[in-house]
């Protein structure tokens, strides 16, 4: 049999009977149709045959027929056909086919006739009333002895009922598949062995598996082992078949993680035998829900735990604000039975009915507002002498819109309040002297300035003890603390009760006082303070005399704020210190200008390196006898865009004070060593470079590493680097200096004492340090009177003594022909000064050295070389 042909919809169809014949047009259908030659009859006979075929098409359920290849019927098994059965033609039957199916049927029938094969095809028949019947046509050829087609034997069967059933079934299956494949829930079907036979596409979104990956695999292989045991216990028995409730299990995701799902399953069983046929399951992911439930459980457990451990107790009142409930926490914390407090009011427990916290609480209650963290002192009926501080919070509550009272929480914060007061005292008072500290001083001074009368001046006295460090160093810090306490007592004795005495820290005190007669009153008080502090005092059996320096600023002329007045007084204090101490000094506008200039210089200096404002100048050093250049000294210069050229004597001490000297010194060292090595290569001469060190650099541990790094980075041989240190820097901490110089000397470089004669001027300490040379200070060459040669004789003696100690001598500050002539009479080794050359920037120094090395020396120089 030939299977049903594939459906095709067309606009027009040409249908052939088993043999190709002429075309006629059938008016009822409006379509072309082919008839055999024998069908070309006229009159009643043709119309009768057509009517029979139309009646067959309209009514017959089953028609069995035989027809020759030309389409003429040999047999029709229908009572409707009657005597005309053998004269019917199949072309009249085909004329009743629905136009949309005619082409498909024609192709199927023609192919069967051409190949001599059986065929089967379904199509629609249009009835006379316009309705449609579905017919199934089946036919097979009957061959002659010669193998030719004798007739076709076939049937027309009405399959409308079964077709409609199949259509509804297909539609139902389509709807089912549409719902299944587009549902968010995971729908699956497994067989009797719990092996997947179907999995909906939603498995991909939830579990990462394509449905085809699951089909053929065991269902329980994906379930977490811990959940698998429980699930096995819950499985229904053979008698079961009922739908199981939701089961929460963990299912393995494709990436290996576990996903929580809620699954509802039903076991399918044979209704007669009860044998398991399979199982269907509907599931959805509940990971977020499970996490939320766990978090809720954790929070509930945490709440229960915190409630039992809480330091709070809970209370409620009635609409008349009488307490109706207290939790047991009040007994645990205050040892007061809840029933003892029922029926009382807030006011009944207040130690002070005017306490600010209580008033806030009562005001909020009257206004039906919530209140939070209100603290007030509470009295105890059983222990009246004990005052406790309670922190309470409450809010009104209602039922059905009716005010029912307040509920809230309370806590005993007595310890916290007392601790806060102690901390406040620590934050505002100096621990040692009990005087106000800087914070409280600022507050009190600010309040005083805001409340002062317009015609009354105030003075700020900034007090610093002279030589307090010596007391600590000689007698110890305990003695120093006793001295500070005594100073605080004496200061308080000198001022009025309304005045303020504060300690800022260390040995710094501040007095703020009213001065009705302005400067005159301030001066008298300053004299009184100096006299009181200058009186000797006995500290641990030692008589100590603690004088002080005082800086004074006046309001309003020296400042309108507490900060500006303290700053002005501090500036005046520096001037008093500079005058020798044990005195006082008023702030002036000139001091303020100097202070601002200093701050401006400090700010500019912090950015000088980054802005390339610093430069290294070089001054040659020459051998006195041969006038050969032996090296150069690196000298730092600063040309600020805002300040102009700034002297090293100004910015070097400032750099030491603000902590920039290490950075600047390291920069100079690197610049100098790199430049010296470049000149070594350029001139092919071993040129020494001298670099000055500050006292602060010696006190740090960074210097040794900085020098080693500079030598390594520049490639300069260590013996060509000479570091110059002043006498005062060496003797400030001789032990530290000796240790550092030994480490520096181990690198192979040279060490020199700079400005010898301006510090300790002691040759004894020179033996203690591993020095190589001594630089004679320029002061030895300066004559007070033209005929005064005492300094020169002293210089000659120093030169000779230095040689005795094995030190070479460099005379600096050689500025005139007379200086040069004198030094030639001595055994001085090298000279340096303006008579040779001023300090020069790099390019001019290089030009000078190029000329010197070209001529061989600086011989013949008798004056200043520019």
**Token pair listed for 149:** 């087609």
Pair 547, 643 in one domain:
no
Confidence category of residue 616, pLDDT binned at 50, 70, 90: very high
Does 6 score more than 50 pLDDT? Answer: no
Q: How far apart are the first and last CA of the chain?
A: 126
Taking only the tens place, the pLDDT of each residue in 43-57 is 447 888 888 888 888
Give residue 239's pLDDT band: very low, low, confident or very high (50, 70, 90).
very low
Phi, psi of 811 (to 5 degrees): -90, 120
760 — pLDDT class (breaks 50, 70, 90)? low
Q: Please list, in sequence order, all residues whose beta carbon lies within 8 angstroms of the beta carbon of residue 724, skipping any fewer than 6 positions away.
A: 633, 690, 691, 692, 693, 752, 753, 754, 775
Residue at 9 is within a domain: no
Residue 365 counted as domain residue: yes
Q: What is the pLDDT of residues 449-471, one digit of tens each?
A: 887 666 778 899 999 988 787 78
- Is there a single domain that holds both residue 406 and residue 455? no
Which residues on neighbouring strands pair with residue 402, listed in sequence order? 399
Residues 271 and 395 in one domain: no
Highest-scoring range by mean pLDDT, 142-156, 479-493, 503-517, 667-681: 667-681
Tokens 């023609």 belong to which residue?
110
Distance CA 426, CA 788 (A): 66
If we measure between CA atoms, which residue out of 147, 126, 145, 146 comes closest to residue 135?
Answer: 126
347 occurs within a structural domain? yes
574 lies in some domain = yes
In DSSP notation, 766-817 reads: GGTS---EEEEPGGGG--SSTT--HHHHHHHHHHHHHHHTT-EEEEE---SH
Give the per-residue SS3 of 489-557.
HHHHHHCCCCCEEEEEECCEEEEEEEECCCHHHHHHHHHHHHHHHHCCEEECCEEECCCEEEEEEEECC
* pLDDT value for 550: 92
In a domain, 374, yes or no: yes
- Paired with 638 in beta bridges are 614, 646
What's the Cα-to-Cα distance from 23 to each of 28, 88, 509, rounded to whole Å? 15, 17, 131
> What is residue 846's predicted lDDT score, i.e. its pLDDT?
92
Q: How confident is the model at residue 243 (pLDDT cuts 50, 70, 90)?
A: low
The percent of residues above 90 in pLDDT, for the chain, comes to 26
What element of type H or E holds 409? strand 402-412
Residue 662 lies in a domain: yes
In this predicted structure, the answer to whether residue 581 has a pLDDT above a threshold of 60 is yes
For residue 7, is pLDDT > 60? no
- Give pLDDT tens digits for 174-203: 766 666 566 678 888 899 999 998 888 888
Q: Residues of the chain with pLDDT > 70: what percent? A: 86
Cα Rg of the chain (Å, integer): 58
Predicted confidence band of residue 859 (pLDDT cuts 50, 70, 90): low
Query: What is the pLDDT, as a whole number, of residue 510?
Result: 94
Q: Do 374 and 467 lie in a common domain?
A: no
Mean pLDDT of 294-307: 75
The reply to whether the predicted model has a pTM over 0.85 is no
* pLDDT value for 3: 37
Q: Is residue 804 within 8 Å of residue 782, measured between CB atoms?
A: no
Q: What is the mean pLDDT of the segment spanning 820-848? A: 91
Give the residue-averaged pLDDT of 518-530.
90
Q: Is the pLDDT of residue 24 over 60?
A: no
330 and 281 within one domain: no
Which range of residues forms the domain containing residue 268? 183-231+246-309
Query: Which token pair is 726?
Result: 């002043």
Residue 177 covered by a domain: no
Backbone angles phi, psi at 719, to 5 degrees: -70, -10
CATH of the domain at 508: 3.30.70.270
**Amino acid 678: pLDDT:** 95
Co-location of 319 and 438 in the same domain: no
Q: What letter does residue 632 receive in the DSSP assignment?
A: E
Number of domains in the chain: 5
More confident residue, 413 or 757: 413
pLDDT confidence of residue 240: 45
- Which of 309, 330, 358 lies at the terminal end of a domain, its last residue? 309
Listed residues 379, 394, 418: the one ending a domain: 418
Instruction: Identify the bridge partners of residue 505 per DSSP, sorted by sequence position.
Output: 508
Residue 592 located in a structural domain:
no
Whether residues 318 and 305 share a domain: the answer is no
The residue among 445, 660, 456, 683 whose CA lies nearest residue 569 is: 445
The helix-helix angle for 477-494 and 468-475 (nearest 10°) equals 140
- Tell whether 127 and 29 lie within a shared domain: yes
Split at pLDDT 50, 70, 90, the class of 777 is: confident
Token readout for 436 is: 């106000």
Other CB atoms within 10 A of residue 134 CB: 20
Same domain, 443 and 495: yes
Domain with residue 299: its CATH number is 3.30.450.20
Burial label for 75, CB within 10 Å (0-12, 13-18, 19+), is middle
Reading phi first (left if > 0) and then psi (alpha if -120 to 50, else beta), residue 180 is in alpha
Provide the CATH number for the domain around residue 688.
3.20.20.450
Based on the domain organization, do 649 and 505 belong to the same domain?
Answer: no
pLDDT at 405: 93
What integer pLDDT is reported at residue 310 of this predicted model?
67
So what's the pLDDT on residue 183? 65
- Are 288 and 381 in the same domain? no
- Residue 72 pLDDT > 90, yes or no? no
Residue 606: how many other CB atoms lie within 10 Å: 14
Helix (H) or strand (E) holding 859: none
Please give the pLDDT value at position 175: 66
Judgement on whether residues 134 and 31 belong to the same structural domain of the protein? yes
Q: Give the closest residue to 766 by CA, choosing from 803, 720, 740.
A: 803
| Model confidence pLDDT, tens digit, residues 361-395 | 889 989 999 999 888 888 876 677 788 888 899 99
DSSP 254: T
The residue from 283, 309, 335 where one domain ends is: 309
């Amino acid at each position: 049999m030939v299977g049903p042909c594939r459906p095709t919809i067309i606009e027009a169809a040409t249908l052939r009977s088993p043999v190709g014949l002429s075309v006629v047009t059938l008016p009822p259908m409006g379509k072309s149709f082919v008839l055999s030659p024998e069908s070309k009859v006229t009159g009643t006979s043709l119309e009768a045959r057509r009517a029979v075929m139309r009646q067959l098409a309209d009514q017959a359920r089953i028609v069995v027929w035989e027809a020759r290849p030309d389409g003429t019927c040999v047999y029709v098994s229908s009572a409707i056909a009657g005597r005309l059965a053998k004269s019917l033609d199949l072309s009249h039957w085909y004329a009743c086919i629905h136009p949309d199916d005619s082409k498909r049927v024609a192709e199927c029938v023609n192919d069967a006739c051409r190949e001599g094969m059986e065929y089967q095809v379904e199509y629609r028949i249009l009835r006379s009333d316009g309705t449609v019947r579905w017919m199934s046509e089946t036919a097979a050829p009957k061959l002659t002895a010669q193998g030719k087609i004798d007739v076709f034997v076939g049937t027309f069967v009405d399959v409308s009922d079964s077709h409609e059933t199949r259509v509804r079934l297909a539609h139902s299956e389509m709807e089912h598949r549409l719902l299944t494949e587009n549902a968010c829930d995971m729908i699956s079907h497994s067989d009797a062995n719990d092996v997947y036979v179907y999995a909906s596409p939603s498995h991909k979104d939830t579990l990462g598996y394509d449905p085809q990956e699951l089909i053929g695999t065991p269902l329980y292989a994906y379930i977490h082992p811990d959940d698998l045991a429980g699930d096995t216990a819950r499985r229904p028995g053979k008698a079961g078949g009922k739908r199981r409730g939701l089961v929460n299990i963990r299912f393995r995701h494709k990436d290996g993680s576990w996903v929580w799902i809620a699954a509802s399953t039903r076991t399918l069983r044979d209704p007669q035998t009860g044998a398991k046929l399979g199982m269907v399951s509907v599931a959805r992911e509940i990971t977020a829900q499970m996490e939320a439930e766990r978090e809720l459980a954790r929070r509930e457990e945490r709440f229960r735990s915190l409630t039992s451990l809480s330091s709070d107790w809970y209370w409620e009142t009635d609409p008349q604000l009488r307490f109706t409930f207290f939790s047991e926490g009040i007994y645990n914390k205050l040892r007061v039975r809840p029933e003892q407090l029922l029926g009382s009011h807030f006011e009944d427990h207040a130690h002070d009915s005017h306490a600010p916290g209580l008033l806030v609480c009562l005001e909020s209650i009257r206004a039906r507002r919530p209140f939070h963290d209100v603290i007030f002192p509470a009295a105890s009926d059983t222990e009246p002498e004990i005052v406790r501080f309670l922190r309470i919070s409450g809010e009104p509550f209602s039922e059905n819109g009716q005010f029912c009272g307040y509920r809230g929480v309370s806590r005993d914060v007595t310890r916290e309040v007392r601790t806060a007061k102690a901390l406040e005292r620590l934050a505002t008072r100096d621990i040692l002297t009990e005087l106000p500290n800087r914070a409280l001083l600022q507050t009190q001074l600010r309040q005083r300035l805001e409340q002062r009368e317009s015609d009354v001046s105030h003075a700020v006295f900034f007090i610093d003890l002279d030589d307090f460090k010596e007391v600590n160093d000689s007698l110890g810090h305990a003695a120093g603390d006793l001295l500070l306490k005594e100073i605080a007592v004496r200061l308080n004795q000198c001022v009025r009760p309304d005045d303020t005495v504060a300690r800022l820290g260390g040995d710094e005190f501040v007095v703020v006082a009213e001065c009705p007669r302005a400067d005159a009153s301030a001066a008298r008080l300053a004299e009184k303070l100096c006299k009181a502090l200058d009186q000797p005092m006995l500290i641990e059996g030692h008589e100590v005399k603690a004088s002080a320096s005082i800086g004074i600023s006046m309001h309003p002329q020296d400042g309108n704020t507490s900060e500006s007045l303290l700053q002005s007084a501090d500036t005046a204090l520096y001037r008093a210190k500079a005058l020798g101490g044990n005195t006082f000094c008023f702030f002036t506008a000139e001091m303020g200008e100097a202070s601002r200039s200093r701050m401006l210089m400090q700010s500019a200096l912090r950015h000088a390196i980054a802005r390339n404002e610093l430069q290294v100048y070089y001054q040659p050093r020459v051998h006195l006898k041969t006038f050969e250049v032996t090296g150069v000294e690196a000298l730092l210069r600063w040309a600020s865009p805002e300040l102009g050229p700034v002297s090293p004597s100004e910015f070097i001490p400032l750099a030491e004070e603000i902590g920039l000297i290490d950075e600047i010194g390291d920069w100079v060292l690197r610049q100098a060593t790199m430049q010296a090595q470049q000149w070594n290569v350029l001139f092919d001469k071993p040129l020494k470079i001298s670099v000055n060190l500050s006292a602060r650099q010696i006190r740090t541990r960074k210097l040794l590493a900085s020098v080693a790094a500079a030598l390594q980075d520049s490639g300069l041989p260590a013996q060509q680097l000479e570091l110059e240190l002043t006498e005062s820097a060496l003797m400030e901490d001789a032990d530290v200096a000796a240790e550092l110089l030994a480490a520096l000397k181990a690198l192979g470089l040279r060490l020199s004492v700079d400005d010898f004669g301006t510090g300790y001027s002691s040759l004894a300490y020179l033996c203690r340090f591993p020095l190589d040379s001594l630089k004679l200070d320029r002061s030895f060459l300066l004559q007070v009177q033209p005929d005064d040669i005492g300094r020169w004789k002293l210089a000659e003696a120093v030169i000779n003594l230095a040689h005795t100690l094995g030190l070479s001598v460099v005379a600096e500050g050689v500025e005139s022909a007379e200086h040069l002539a004198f030094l030639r009479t001595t055994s001085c080794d090298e000279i340096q000064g303006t008579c040779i050359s001023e300090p020069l920037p790099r390019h001019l120094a290089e030009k000078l050295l190029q000329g010197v090395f070209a001529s061989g020396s600086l011989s013949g120089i008798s004056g200043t070389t520019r």
